[in-house]
Structures are given as C-alpha cells and as structure tokens.
Amino acid sequence: MASSSTVFGGTHHVTGLRLFSDASQIQESDWDAILITVKTYDTQSAVDACRRLVGPQTWLISIQNGHGNLEAMAAAFGADRILGARIITGAEMKPGHVTITVHADALRLGPHHGEADLMPAARRWAAILDSAGVPTQASDQFLPYLWAKLLYNCALNPMGALLRLTYGELWEHPPCRQAMSDIFREAFAVCQAHGIPLFWQRPEDYEKVFDTELVPKTRNHYPSMLRDLEHRGRTEIDSMNGAVVELGKQHGIVTPVNAVLTAMIKRKEKAVSSALAGGKH
C-alpha cells in the first residue's frame, strides 16, 4: 500500500508498509519501539493489545494529547520503558492521505518526570524521529510541555466543538475569552495543588503567550474535538477539561467552568452517538 502526506513543507510518498487492522494479526514480538498514537479513550485498549508484542528491549512512546496516557502505560509495563512526546500539529486525513494543517513546534520527547536515567533513550528516539523528517527534540521537561498543550486544548477544543467555530473566532468573542481566562485559573490552581510543573507562575503569564503566540498561529483551525463529534460521537474530553475537574476534586478545588464544558460535551456525545447509531446525519 502507498500513502502520501504533505508534512513540514514537503510532500512525502510512503510505500512498502505492512498494515494490519488488529494487533492480533502481528506475528513478531520484542519490537524496538511501539508508538501509541490513539485517542486517549482507546489508550487502555492499545496497551492491552500491545502486551504480547513488548519484549525486554521494547520502548513505548506516547504521542498523544491529554492527561493519563503515560500513567496507563506505566501501570502495564513499568515506568522505566515509557516515554512521551508532546505534539502540537494539526492534520486532516483521508484514506491514504494526510495533510498537515498547522505545525506550531517540534515534538518534545522525554520521560514523564524528566528522569535522568531515561534521557539517553529519549535523545536516541528523538534523533530517529527527527532524521525521518518529523522535527523532534529530546527534553527533560515533557510534563510541562504536555500541560502547556493541555491548557491550550482545554480553552479551545470544547467551546470550538460546541459552537462550531475556529480558534480565532472563539478568541474574538468576549464571553468565550472570559471563559478561557476562567479555564486557565482553574487549571493553574489544580496544577499547583497537584505538584504538576508548568512553565509559567501565573495564569496571566500563560494567557499572554496564548493571546500573542498560540492563537495567531492556529486562528483558522477547527478543533479536532469537533471532527471527533461529527465522525465518532466520542471525544477526549475526559483527559482534558475532565482531567482538570477530577484532579481538582482530589484537592477540594472547585472547577465550575471546566466541569460545565465537560458535561456539555458529554451530553453532545450522547446525542451524536444516538444519531449515528440511528443512521441519521
């Protein structure tokens, strides 16, 4: 099978791929690395499917959004063989064809908590991905990078999905801007209580970067959560705003804006799933 993708400024055609519709069809085991790229609600299923493929030398690399993916992988295989990669690239997909719509930064690949003994492996796999044409840098600050992306997703994905607006259209609407500020404040309080490191001391500091750097680069982009609702009736809300809510509960921190958005998306999921099951479009 051949596939093509327009990625990082060039068009690439890939041939000679061995494709499987299910991991049970793969005969080989003890792979050098397994990349987990599924939606967060499928992470546990992917972990279970990979169990027989993992050998003593196999590294597992999560290239996913949201909270909880590395935790699920570490619980199954041990934290000493797990790496994560923060990705901030948008794409549109058709059978055999992927078009990159936005690429804001290189993958930042590293161990979950910056463990020094895992950094040689992180540098090795970052170099392999980078040499393959996917800009990648090793980092001992994977968790701050992951949560920087999570803040971005929490602010834009659910409202963009519910209102069917681009990121720029959301940002230009004052009530949505206020909701974004509230989302940031709630998430920062949760991170501080939970000991999750961030690059910024205050939500206002992050909001400046969000307003002046992040949104302008992606202002014409629709959220992937909108496409997930349209095509699957299921989203990653539990690992985004839902994660902020659940982590907040552990420390008695109320997160009303994140909670309302989580509830609204879940209600929308049920409505869309029911329509899809009934053959309605």
Distance of alpha carbon 40 from alpha carbon 105, whole angstroms: 21
d(CA 159, CA 241): 11
Is 60 exceeded by the pLDDT of residue 1? no
Whole-Å CA distances, 259 to 139, 241, 262: 32, 7, 5
Of the candidates 149, 208, 249, 270, the residue annotated as catalytic is 149
Strand order across the beta sheet in which 89-94 lies: 10-14, 3-7, 97-103, 89-94
Q: What structural domains does the chain harbor?
A: 3-139 (3.40.50.720), 143-277 (1.10.1040.10)
Cβ atoms of 155 and 188 closer than 8 Å: no
Query: Do the Cβ atoms of 15 and 210 come closer than 8 Å?
Result: no
Annotated active-site residue 217? The verdict is no
pLDDT 10s digits, 130-172: 998 889 999 999 999 999 999 999 999 999 999 999 999 999 9
**What average pLDDT does the structure give for the chain?**
91
Instruction: Retrieve residue 144's tokens.
Output: 């701050």
Q: What average pLDDT does range 211-221 have in this prediction?
A: 90
State the average pLDDT over residues 168-186: 96
pTM of the model: 0.90
